[in-house]
Amino acid sequence: MSEPWTLHPDRALPADPTTRDLAREVYQATKDLPLVSMHGHVPVEWFAEDTSFGDPAQLVVVPDHYLTRMLVSQGETLPRLGVGSTASEAAETDPREIWRRFCAGWKHFRGTPTRYWLEHVLVEILGVTQRPSAQTADAIYDQVAARIAEPDFRPRALLDRFGIDVIATTDPAWAPLDEHGKLAADGYGDRVLPTFRPDPLLHLDRPAWRDDVARLSAASGTEVTSYASYLDALRIQRERFAAAGARATDHGHLDADTTPLDDAEARRIVDAALSGTVTADEARAFSGHMLFQMAAMSTEDGLVMQLHPGVLRDHASGPSAAFGPDKGYDIPVVTEFTRSLRPVLDAFGHHPRFRLIAFTVDEDTYSRELAPLAGVYPALRLGAPWWFLDAPDAMRRFREAATETAGFSNLSGFVDDTRAFCSIPARHDLARRVDAGYLARLVAEHRLDLDEAVDTALDLAYRLPLAAYERL
């Protein structure tokens, strides 16, 4: 009989013995700290309803586009993985069959951060004792199904088990926030917070823009018939989010442009959008203008502004049309920040009630643009490695590229950015291990004392995220 599947206690720590010993000491100081998950995409309904996750496929496979995109790259299809149907292929409805396809493709995750997260979830959280494969799939499915059916595996109970101090959901600007109201009534109002995500409303040439504006009108009680009423409705919703505990807004534009328009031009473009005649160039200019306006509103209501540009969404038109957004076909593009952020930082970079956290998936910008900007503007914090950079070697490169210019205090601390709820502790654990390794090297090179390294690790893991997302 083979040995049970276990994880090495030194995984992701440095291989060098001297540095590894130091890294172990630094990691021990942070490994059990509470988690601060301020940029997440876990559905608020999970916490409000607090029901069972259903089956292993719906918990682990179907909602995780990191996982499904790799399997699709190796010949699987999204319908076969239960994501949805197309005209030519119906979605798989048997969760056990979806699970088999996942386990059969386990080797494809070798060397990826997804492999690390999945191992942590399966072994540390779900108690799996066999490595996934075509041969072990059914036995693992039965084990996971039994575990997630237990009463202590409901979303609210997992907040305690995972040690999550606070978690933010991401909610459309027109959300009525009823689920957050229920959570507040149940005593979770300070623990599960909304985040204001207005993206669909800021891109006027999106096909559903006028429908989304109608939703904004209904939610705010302000009929949007002009640029002025459009801004009023957004302000009203921001105030409602803030009253419900929100600490931040979230913006995922293609680029980081924040160039404002004059009021007359903004009014003209909104009128064109309301009449259905707006052009792509007008919409692009208006989206940058609205990032500037969102920053201005943040100086009024104190909500922290998160900006994560540089991703061409829905690269494949067919899957996007069939299954909707966020199905694994979002691809990074080159992103410029120095000129793009100049308008908003020139206007608000020293404002006491403004904070901007900037993320990127373009590694070149860390040392060339973002670290120098964060190292001088008090309003700017540099966000953690995000999405495709949420990986061990990319995290190390980030520390090396950004720290010497921005220091540690101008960073956001770790941000997990995931829809896969059970992967949250895995992602934080990996970040803490990588940071321990980087800090251990500074100690080994006599660039930091060990007590300073431990104190910095505590900052990165816990104190900085709390401070970065404190409403101003």
Q: Mark whether 37 and 177 lie in a shared domain.
A: yes
The CATH number of residue 57's host domain is 1.10.2020.10
**Does 8 map to a domain?**
no
Q: What is the mean pLDDT of the chain?
A: 96
Residue numbers of the domain that contains 448: 17-50+152-468
Q: Mark whether 158 and 80 lie in a shared domain.
A: no
Q: Mark whether 312 and 203 lie in a shared domain.
A: yes
Q: Mark whether 98 and 34 lie in a shared domain.
A: no
**Does 271 map to a domain?**
yes
CA dist 155 and 138 (Å) reads 25
**Does 405 map to a domain?**
yes
User: Could you give the percent of the chain with pLDDT greater than 90?
Assistant: 91
Give per-residue pLDDT as tens, 64-107.
988 999 999 999 999 999 999 998 999 999 999 999 999 999 99
Asked which of 131, 151, 171 is the last residue of a domain, the reply is: 151
pLDDT of residue 318: 81
Asked which of 135, 151, 167 is the last residue of a domain, the reply is: 151
Q: Mark whether 288 and 332 lie in a shared domain.
A: yes
Q: Mark whether 273 and 411 lie in a shared domain.
A: yes
Q: Mark whether 159 and 254 lie in a shared domain.
A: yes
Q: Mark whether 138 and 205 lie in a shared domain.
A: no
**Does 131 map to a domain?**
yes
CA dist 16 and 10 (Å) reads 12
Q: Mark whether 109 and 210 lie in a shared domain.
A: no
Answer for the pair 399, 448: CB distance below 8 angstroms, yes or no.
Answer: no
Is the sign of the CA dihedral 386, 388, 389, 393 positive or negative?
Answer: positive
Domain tally, the chain: 2
pLDDT of residue 387: 87
Write 104-110 long-range contacts (CB < 8 A, 24+). Answer: 104/133, 104/134, 104/137, 105/70, 105/71, 105/74, 105/76, 106/131, 106/132, 106/133, 108/70, 108/71, 108/73, 108/74, 109/67, 109/70
Q: What's the mean pLDDT in 384-405?
A: 94
Buried b (16+ CB within 10 A) or exposed e, 182-213: bbbeeebeebbbbbbbbbbbbbbbeeebeebb
Q: What's the mean pLDDT in 232-236?
A: 98
Q: Mark whether 260 and 376 lie in a shared domain.
A: yes
Q: Mark whether 108 and 251 lie in a shared domain.
A: no
Q: Report pTM.
A: 0.96
Q: Mark whether 147 and 286 lie in a shared domain.
A: no
Give per-residue pLDDT as tens, 292-338.
999 999 999 999 999 999 999 888 888 878 887 778 788 899 999 99
**Does 394 map to a domain?**
yes
Residue appearing with tokens 């951060």: 113
Residue appearing with tokens 């995220």: 465
CA dist 254 and 205 (Å) reads 14
Asked which of 130, 151, 172 is the last residue of a domain, the reply is: 151
